[in-house]
Chains A and B, each alone.
Chain A
Amino acid sequence: MREKVLEVLERECPDVDFLASDKLVTDGIVDSLTLTSIIAALTMEFGIVIPYEEIIEANFDSVDGLTAMVERLTGA
């Protein structure tokens, strides 16, 4: 799942190095517009609905956090 999530992220935001940090939001690597792209891409790719409660830094700070969120929402 992690590889798949990373592939989607890199395809959606080719300018962003998602492996550069495990504090992507805190470090400003992921801003609100990048966040928008990520949410749209993951929703389309995995057919999930990301509720507001999941829009927290811990979920978007790293590829691992994003993968865990997708797994939770897909029930994988």
Chain B
Amino acid sequence: MSLVELRFFIFAALVVLLYYILPKKVQWLVLLTASVAFYLTYGWEMLPFLLASAVIAYFAGRKIEQFQVAFRKDTAAAKKRCKPVLLTAVALLAALLVYAKVGTAVMAAITELLHAQQLSAFPVIVALGVSYYTFSLISYLADIYRRQDKAEHDFLRLLLFTIYFPKVLQGPISRHKNLAPQLLEQHRFDYKEFCFGLQLMVWGYFKKMVIADRLAIFVNTVFGNIAGETGAHLLVALVFSAVQIYCDFSGCMDIVGGFSQILGLKLEENFDRPFFSKSAAEFWRRWHITLGTWFKDYIYMPIVISPRVIGLSKKVRDKFGVRPGKAVMTVVPLTAVWLLTGLWHGTGWTYIIWGLYWGALIICSTVFEPEIKKITKALHINTETGSWKVFQMVRTFLLFVFARMLTVPGSAYNILRVGKRLLLRFHPEGFFDGSLYALGLDRPNFLLALVCIGVLWGVSCMQEKGICVRERIAGSNIVFRWAIYYIGFFAILIFGVYGPGYDAASFIYMKF
């Protein structure tokens, strides 16, 4: 059941109804039942994998807590006993994740190698949302180990945290200590939260169905025929694909965040208008925030405080000087983080390159910061002016567009073909001769996409200035307020992209 189909609206309305009319003490059971039912609509065979992960986390969490209680006066002894439990559980959870990520490719390779076609009768089952719930469960265990969270004593409660249906497929990667208490609290119906949640959902559907899915038609048409396209068309498609993935993913986050708000729950923010970022590092602090903070807390910081890495830094410092020594402390953890971030997004080598590309950008901007400052000064650039800040934002956006070129074309050969056309067969007349309107979107649809992006940009600018648009709408007179609601609702109804041949189920980030 996709978030953008009629079945989901009926399901969601039913959940809200039962959630508020049944006794408050069973609210969490309503959510658990609904979440299991929602997950089962994608196929019963995935559920055992999710259950296995939850069982591993449950028993490991309890065991770690038992050791911590038993050795409460001897922290070192407690750690000594807890660490193997933590590492074993994380290894098992990671194994299930790796199985889902590379199982299909490995199975295909084995089938081909052994000419054993009968193996194809046993397809690898990829549990939906495995990357998201696995990371949530690892953070749950690590937080118990660090005494920053408490183990769940009721398996069903941990299961609800794992499978809570608005976030199970695409995140955010919630922390147990943030979400679980909310899921178990009793919530009274709040009309304001209900309205705000509904508004956020409508905004999310607008981003997903009116913008992302419209741009997807153009992007898929162009990248479906790279050989026949000019560089100009490919450039437009790359820019559109950057906006598309933002609207697709952040739109989904608005839908699930809005729905959770209706239930009185607050999910973690996953986006903070990333296209206003002035550097690659800032961009990744504002894009897929929960993934970034996960890597920071569970990969980056453990490496930074590792005596081995600090020892290596000291050795380099003693031998080559302070600056190379400091660079070790930047290069080692960031390389690990970005390699893993690439692998999280996909197991192909293009994703590894993609991860290392972002890692290299962030590492270089940090390590060579003094030189960058010197060059900026030598060129007499006033870094406080608005034009410089706009330049930095455009530059960051273009870096993101370039990164899209590493993943959207689908293969190394296609990446090279796109690059060749961008450099050698650009044909700038393609921007103006009307040929853009023959690539899946006719002229009205193309212009509508631009207008909608303009609306998104305008709203984002207001938010960037600290204006809460939803509060503004709520505080305006009834005519204006309802006009906005109607426009939003009918914009989705009239301009949303659906119909025969349209696969509404395919949110881009669901495949992770």
In the complex, the answer to whether A33 meets B301 with C-beta atoms within 8 Å is: no
Stretch at the interface among A1-9, A17-25, A42-50, A62-70: A42-50
Contact of A33 with B296 at beta-carbon distance under 8 Å, contacts A50-B305, A52-B146 already known: no
Compute how far the CA of A72 lies from the CA of B146 in the bound complex, rounded to whole angstroms: 18
B304 at the interface (CB under 8 A from A): yes
Contact of B301 among A37, A40, A52 (CB under 8 A): A52
In the complex, the answer to whether A39 meets B304 with C-beta atoms within 8 Å is: yes
Stretch at the interface among B9-17, B307-315, B398-406: B307-315
Count of residues in B whose CB is under 8 Å from the partner chain: 20
Stretch at the interface among B127-135, B326-334, B380-388: B326-334
Shortest Cβ distance from B361 into chain A, in angstroms?
14
For residue B326, which residue of chain A has the nearest CB?
A37
Contact of A49 with B307 at beta-carbon distance under 8 Å, contacts A32-B300, A36-B333, A37-B326 already known: yes
* Across-interface contacts of B313 in A (CB, < 8 A): 40, 44
* Across-interface contacts of B326 in A (CB, < 8 A): 37, 40
In the complex, the answer to whether B301 meets A55 with C-beta atoms within 8 Å is: yes
* Across-interface contacts of A75 in B (CB, < 8 A): none
Overall SS of chain A's interface? helix
CB neighbors of A among B28-65 (8 A): none
In the complex, the answer to whether B314 meets A36 with C-beta atoms within 8 Å is: no
A27 at the interface (CB under 8 A from B): no
Shortest Cβ distance from A59 into chain B, in angstroms?
12
In the complex, the answer to whether A53 meets B296 with C-beta atoms within 8 Å is: no
B366 at the interface (CB under 8 A from A): yes
Contact of B304 among A36, A49, A51, A53 (CB under 8 A): A36
Compute how far the CA of A40 lies from the CA of B304 in the bound complex, rounded to whole angstroms: 8
Q: What are the 3 A-B residue pairs with the smallest beta carbon separation, nearest first?
A: A43-B310, A36-B329, A40-B329
Give residues in B with beta carbon < 8 Å to A: 146-148, 296, 300-302, 304-305, 307, 310, 313-314, 317, 325-326, 329-330, 333, 366
Give residues in A with beta carbon < 8 Å to B: 32-33, 35-37, 39-40, 43-44, 49-53, 55
